Amino acid sequence: MSAWYTALIGAVAAERVAELGVARANLRWSLRRGGSVIDSGHYGAMVVLHTGLLAGCLLETGLAHRPFVPALGVPMLALAAAAQGLRWWCIGTLGRQWNTRVVVVPGLSRVTRGPYRWLRHPNYVAVAVEGAALPLAHSAWLTALAFTAANAAVLAVRVRCEDAALTALTDPA
């Protein structure tokens, strides 16, 4: 495993910690405004899954001696970077309404600008792309497959939970 890949995974982990800080601040803001957390029991699985993605990237590349193959790795790095861009576009567009948890604040409108103009759940497109691209950047195909399969199962629950919560929001004027 290369040092640059370890540093990349470390940078992604640091980005996730930054996301959690934003989510905590947004949760406090939401709760002060009467918001409620909608929990369908999937949040712990999401945390384990996303932590497992990063650990799997490092473990598989190290233990299975996965090589960096430029013809695969370079396009996957570009996709992973694009996924990060989409993720932060989603976070910026939702502003205080963005969270890692499903939170409904009474009286707020559903966001329909930015990437939400075209997709109902664009952040999950970013998650799916990153979950395949980040491991494949260093040929960790088992991690990419495992994450993709597990993510599909978790997202099936998460999207239903979010869709139900979105019905509580008002349509934008």
Within a domain: 33: yes
pLDDT at 168 exceeding the cut of 90: no
> Domain range for residue 36?
3-166
pLDDT tens digits, one per residue of 46-66: 999 999 999 999 999 999 999
What is the distance between the alpha carbons of residues 18 and 6, in angstroms, rounded to a whole number? 18
Count the domains in the chain: 1
Which tokens in the block code for residue 27? 């949760």
Identify whether 37 is part of a domain: yes
Mean pLDDT, all residues of the chain: 95
Question: pLDDT for 14-45, tens place per residue?
Answer: 999 999 999 999 999 999 999 999 988 999 99
Establish if 98 belongs to a structural domain.
yes
Nearest to 97 by CA among 151, 160, 169: 169
Residue 172 within a domain: no
97, 162 contact by CB (below 8 A) = no
107 lies in some domain: yes
In a domain, 173, yes or no: no
pLDDT tens profile 103-128: 999 999 999 999 999 999 999 999 99
DSSP single-letter state for residue 105? -
Let me know if residue 73 belongs to a domain: yes
Residue 172 has a pLDDT of 66
Asked whether residue 143 is assigned to any structural domain, the reply reads: yes
Q: Is residue 167 very low, low, confident or very high in pLDDT (cuts 50, 70, 90)?
A: confident
CATH of the domain at 68: 1.20.120.1630
How many helices (H) does the chain have, and how many strands (E)?
5, 2
